[in-house]
Amino acid sequence: MKKQEKVQFVIDTLEKLYPETPIPLDHADPYTLLVAVLLSAQCTDARVNTVTPALFDLADNPHDMMRQEVDEIKAIIRPCGLSPRKSKAISELSRILVEEHGGEVPQSFEALEALPGVGHKTASVVMSQAFGVPAFPVDTHIHRLADRWKLSTGKNVVQTEKDLKRLFPKEIWNKLHLQIIFFGREYCPARGHQPEKCPICSVIGRRSMFTN
């Protein structure tokens, strides 16, 4: 099985398993998505979704959020971990959105990545899921699966993102990255993975008989 055949197999399998790809993080608009994605660093989406209702009851827009005490934000988001850093980032980025972007989340990678607490992956999620701009956010699930499926030899998420963007059509990036995340959680976990029972690894995984 050649690499392009593997790519098509992955596309076909994921489309069959996950024809619909709801965004895992609960949000109402680009701002609440941005905050939710920031909170999801080193935290599960499920836990973020239990925390954000109280946070967004406190403030669900940058104008209101910038007026809140950082300690109050920190107390609410503590279950997500890294609360001192995340609370400060949420407060500061809210102020910057108001003062420099008219209270709106900017629609560019450069402007998003300039915000406190917002790296390339977070910016990619917001650009793809809030604004529909083609992006391929690579998290630990995607990084792990790209290696298992021999689609990337990247030692970090940056190289893996480049490899996957080269292999997969741009028009499916936004849906595909969610499909891979869902698949990783259900069939291809980091621990307790059973390659022979995995719908993709059993065919093209690292222990497969196939070669590049």
Q: What angle do CA 186, 142, 145 make, to 5 degrees?
A: 70
CB atoms under 10 Å from CB of 154, counted, come to 17
Q: Of these residues, 45, 60, 139, 147, which one is catalytic? A: 139
Active site residue 71: no
* DSSP symbols for 149-197: TTS---SSHHHHHHHHHHHS-GGGHHHHHHHHHHHHHHT--SSS--GGG
Active site residue 139: yes
* DSSP assignment letter at 59: -
Amino acid of residue 164: L
Q: Cα-Cα-Cα-Cα dihedral of 98, 104, 109, 113, to 10°?
A: 30
Catalytic residue numbers read 121, 139
